[in-house]
Amino acid sequence: MNKHRFIARALTVVSLVLLSAGCARKEADTPPPHSVSYVLEWKRSKMEQAPDGAGWEVTNDLGYRVQVTRGYLVTRSLELIPCNPVPPAVSLLERIGDLLGPRPAYAGHSAIADPSATKTATVESLLNPRSHAVATLYPGAQKYCQAHYLIARADPAATGLPSEVDMVDQSLRLEGRFQRPGESQETPFTVVTAVANGKLFDLPRNQGQEGGALNTGGESATVVVRRDLDTIFDHVDFANMPDKRIGREVLQNLINSAEIEVRVKNG
């Protein structure tokens, strides 16, 4: 084969790749029809409004009466975990690179990022806890068997950052007062931590809450992660624990109490 014929064939292959990429780009402009929405919720059947109207109160399992007057929690990410991960789509540059020769590998770098993962941290108020819609994503066709919920430090791009305190590089902040069991004296406390904690869930289904894969190729879903404020201070001995230990205990309580609900919509 002469040089000109080789070049012509190479250009033909590259042109076909460009055309196929252009078609794929047009198709990608329209979001896939099936979505995954994430919602954060709270359980709070035992917490009470504080008598002075400043925040809320709860009694923990050690008998401490705790009043929260300010608080924030950072959800760093929510994502679904594929049952059998599908390799990421090959980009145009990678296709052309295959024609030109092998590509170098870069240590510590992975191109795999599941499209079901939220990208922006969310800061929630613990003083006025309420249901919060985090994001709606279109992950494409995939079968998911698990979900992951992560509490971790906020960055400057986080949504819901308060103006009165700095939550950047923090995962939890709590301020308030506590009363020892059987005592009326109130002692103020402030707990601030950047510790991270997370939980992996097997996906339940809303039809009888039986486990099973979520197929985003044929159904949409709302994934609800529900935490319990009634038990947020369980095992916390305010009078004898250092602040760092209290922060870790509170985060662990939130993670331990977290439940997941998956509301599936077919079609």
pLDDT reported for residue 11: 37
Domain count within the chain: 1
Helix, coil or strand: residue 219: strand
Give the count of beta carbons closer than 10 Å to the beta carbon of residue 237.
14
Asked whether residue 128 is assigned to any structural domain, the reply reads yes
pLDDT reported for residue 130: 92
Domain residues for the domain of 177 are 31-86+108-266
Asked whether residue 8 is assigned to any structural domain, the reply reads no
Asked whether residue 3 is assigned to any structural domain, the reply reads no
Asked whether residue 213 is assigned to any structural domain, the reply reads yes
Q: How far apart are CA 83 and CA 146, in angstroms?
A: 7
pLDDT reported for residue 110: 35
Distance, first Cα to last Cα, the chain: 53
H-helix segments, the chain: 3-28, 92-100, 243-257
Task: Per residue of the chain (267 residues), give pLDDT as tens.
Answer: 554 444 434 434 433 444 444 444 444 456 567 899 999 999 988 888 877 767 899 999 999 999 999 999 999 999 999 988 655 555 554 544 444 444 333 222 233 568 999 999 999 999 989 999 999 999 999 999 999 999 999 999 999 999 999 999 999 999 999 999 989 899 999 999 999 999 999 988 654 444 568 999 889 999 999 999 999 999 999 999 999 999 999 999 999 999 999 998 876
pLDDT reported for residue 26: 47
Secondary structure, 3-state, 151-202: ECCECCCCECCCCCCCCECCCEEEEEEEECCCCCCEEEEEEEECCCEEEEEE
Asked whether residue 18 is assigned to any structural domain, the reply reads no
Q: Residue 160 contacts by C-beta under 8 Å, 6 or more apart in sequence?
A: 122, 123, 124, 125
pTM (2 d.p.): 0.77
Asked whether residue 61 is assigned to any structural domain, the reply reads yes
Asked whether residue 166 is assigned to any structural domain, the reply reads yes
Asked whether residue 152 is assigned to any structural domain, the reply reads yes
Contacts 24+ apart (CB under 8 A), 229-232: 229/42, 229/43, 229/44, 229/47, 229/56, 229/58, 229/126, 229/129, 230/43, 230/44, 230/45, 230/46, 230/47, 230/58, 231/60, 231/61, 231/256, 231/257, 232/58, 232/257
Q: How far apart are CA 3 and CA 22, in angstroms?
A: 29
